[in-house]
Amino acid sequence: MEREVVVTKNAGFCFGAARAVELLEKAASEGKPVYTYGPILNNDRLVESFTKKGVKVIEDVSELKDLPKGIVVIRSHGVSKEVYKALDETGNEVIDATCPFVKRIHKIVDERSKNGEKIVVIGNPTHPEVKGIVGWSNSECTVINTMEEVEKFCRADIKDFCIVAQTTFNSNKFQEFLDIFRKKGYNINVMNTICDATRIRQTEAAELSKKSAVMLVIGDEKSSNSRKLYDICKADCNHTYFIQSVEDIRGRLPVTPGPIGITAGASTPKYIIEEVQSYVRHDF
């Protein structure tokens, strides 16, 4: 008997992830050595599939010194101005797969800081996207990630700031942070750079988990947006599972009546979603 299976409309790759993978696929088909600056996405299976095609992940520009010349692909998170320049100087061809939404933040930070504005980035300072954004500022740049940090923020010498956000930052939290900045009397120039892809995925996951007997969230352990989807679904559906592939659920799902919901993080390839979907629909 077929189980009722519902997959959220926007499960899996966001626009920027799909674009980066497409650009890497094209580069890998050219017969030249191909390198990615960091893993192309937070998904081990996808990275492995590219490794099999000869794509090598580098973590630092200096590694390219001892490697044959080829193509370097910058992933969707983007890189700092300095890394960009250093990659360019290695003599490799550089393909920039930085998501255009992240690129827009680089441009804002570059231009505003050149005009003398101080920059505040709301986001996780250890995330590669934020490190890249900070690296486009031509003047002082502060990163703020927690409520405690906004509350502590105190700069009597500066009144005007340009504020940008990491694309995946929580929208409500961002607004709360802005309120505090305003209450403190700062003159803030806010550029809302949060990408809708995250919010849409989260809203869809929340809606589906309320209607599902079992909820499957597909994503790599390292993918923070996938884990966030898991937390959201778990709040509404007791039988929520965070899985990397179909192997994690084979023979392990509870036999509960009712529909099975599936969602997936923005770095989960379509074929992994399809494998899971086909298993729960036909074999489970």
Catalytic residues: 129
Closest listed residue to residue 225, CA positions, set 260, 178, 279, 267: 267
CA distance 209 to 230: 10
Residue 265 dihedral angles phi and psi, to the nearest 5°: -65, 170
Nearer to ligand F3S, 42 or 113 (CB): 42
Residue 72's SS3 state is: strand
Residue 17 binds ligand F3S, judged by CB under 6 A: yes
Q: For residues 20-79, which are near ligand F3S according to CB under 6 A? A: 76
Query: Taking the CA of residue 233 as centre, how many other CA atoms within 13 Å lie in the half-sphere pointing to its CB?
Result: 31
Least Cβ distance, residue 161 to ligand F3S (angstroms): 22
Q: Name, in order, each residue with C-beta under 8 angstroms of 186's C-beta and a sequence gap of 6 or more.
A: 155, 159, 160, 161
- Quote the radius of gyration of the chain (alpha carbons, Å): 21
Pick the piece of the chain touching ligand F3S (CB under 6 A) from 24-32, 83-91, 95-103, 246-254.
95-103
Of 132 and 135, CB closest to ligand F3S: 132
Q: Could you give the string, one character per residue 239-268, with x where binding to ligand F3S holds by CB under 6 A and - elsewhere?
A: ---------------------------x--
Contact segment (CB under 6 A) with ligand F3S among 4-12, 99-107, 120-128, 252-260 equals 99-107
* Cβ distance to ligand F3S smaller for residue 201 or 239: 201
Number of residues that bind ligand F3S (CB under 6 A): 14
Question: Site map for ligand F3S, 72-91, x if CB under 6 A?
Answer: ----x---------------
Nearest of 103, 104, 141, 101 to residue 121 by alpha carbon: 141
Amino acid letter, residue 22? E
Q: Which token pair is 151?
A: 């509350």
- CB burial string 12-21: b at 16+ within 10 A, e below: bbbebbbbbb
Nearer to ligand F3S, 261 or 265 (CB): 265
Classify residue 283 by its DSSP letter. Answer: I
Q: Which two tokens stand for residue 195?
A: 């990408």
Alpha-carbon span 5 to 218, nearest angstrom: 14
Instruction: Tell me if 16 contacts ligand F3S by CB under 6 A.
Output: yes
Nearest to 23 by CA among 34, 12, 33: 34
**Min separation Cβ 267 and ligand F3S, Å:** 9
Residues numbered 146 to 185 that lie near ligand F3S (CB under 6 A) are: 167-168
Closest residue to ligand F3S, judged by C-beta, is: 16
- Name the token pair of 80: 């700092």
Q: Does 102 bind ligand F3S (CB under 6 A)?
A: yes
**Cβ of residue 93: shortest distance to ligand F3S, in angstroms?**
22
The correct pick among 3, 6, 10, 15 for binding ligand F3S (CB under 6 A) is 15
Q: Which residues sit at the interface with ligand F3S, rule CB under 6 A?
A: 14-17, 76, 99, 101-102, 167-168, 195, 197-198, 266
